Amino acid sequence: MTPAAFFSGYVTIIGRPNVGKSTFMNHILGTKISITTAKPQTTRDRILGIWNDPDTQIVFLDTPGIHASDKALNRYMLDKAVSTISDADIALVMADHLDTPETLLQVAGFVQKARKESFLVLNKVDLMSESVACERLERLGRVYDFTYQCTISSTLGTGIDDLMAQIRKRLPEGPRYFPEDMITDSPMRFICKELIREKVFTLLQKEIPYAVAVEIEEYREEAPVLIRAAIHVEKDSQKRILIGSGGRMLKEIGTQARRDIEDLVGERIFLELFVKVTRDWSKNPKSLKDLGYK
């Protein structure tokens, strides 16, 4: 008997900061592997998520939002986003209700250089009327020769089944790149540090989240699981805010992060957090490498 055909491929998700790329991938996978907040530029690295069914494997690549900046950290994020396009079979160019043809053109330009098949995905249509969403999709669709255009809501899940069907139609025959029970290639240490950083983004305002990097200094897997993490900031004043009066803010960050990590690993953990000042780490290429941004 001839074996049934199997289809597989890589799909990169690119767009401006905060258009819902991570929320979309988490929805597809049915679990949280990319952190999400209401603040832009939350995602700093390429996050890989694996979707499986009996005859298909789709490897999604969530990416940092595309934006211009001379800061070393932001250059790193842009390089991570752009480099995934050449690795992909399909590029999902994601936009939202704030995009214009001008902002979308900046993103589509990178797809054009890589000569990749691309879909235009207008997200957050739950924030628009149907007529506004249709008009905006039509305007944005003129920016580039997209293979397919659609509207979705990653929050509500609307339109995603149709989008997945279109992706599957265009995948080449290929191998199963990852085991069927695997949903990401990110190690647990990486996911834990991201969940801690998410709580900083959620609980603190202004410049503090953008001045924070998290480093897992110890991860003991045998029960009881022990995680010791350093939260790096750039100034003494940021350290004081992060710790909070009587240590209350740092304790709340730890409490919320611990709950999410316990949900992920399925057992009780001990999480120890402390704060370090690493001057101007986000502007220093060596510090970036030391903190895992390589």
- Region 50-72: mean pLDDT is 91
As a whole number of angstroms, the distance between CA 57 and CA 178 comes to 8
pLDDT tens figures, 166-186: 999 999 999 999 999 999 999
Does the pLDDT at position 3 exceed 80? no
The model's pLDDT over 127-140, given as tens digits with 9 standing for 90+, comes to 999 999 999 999 99
Distances (CA, A) of 225 to 59, 136, 267: 30, 49, 8
Closest CA to 149 of 179, 216, 194, 104: 104
The mean pLDDT value for 25-48 works out to 91
Structure confidence by residue, pLDDT tens digits, 66-111: 987 778 998 899 899 999 998 899 999 999 999 999 999 989 999 9
pLDDT at 273: 98
Domains and CATH numbers, the chain: 7-169 (3.40.50.300), 188-290 (3.30.300.20)
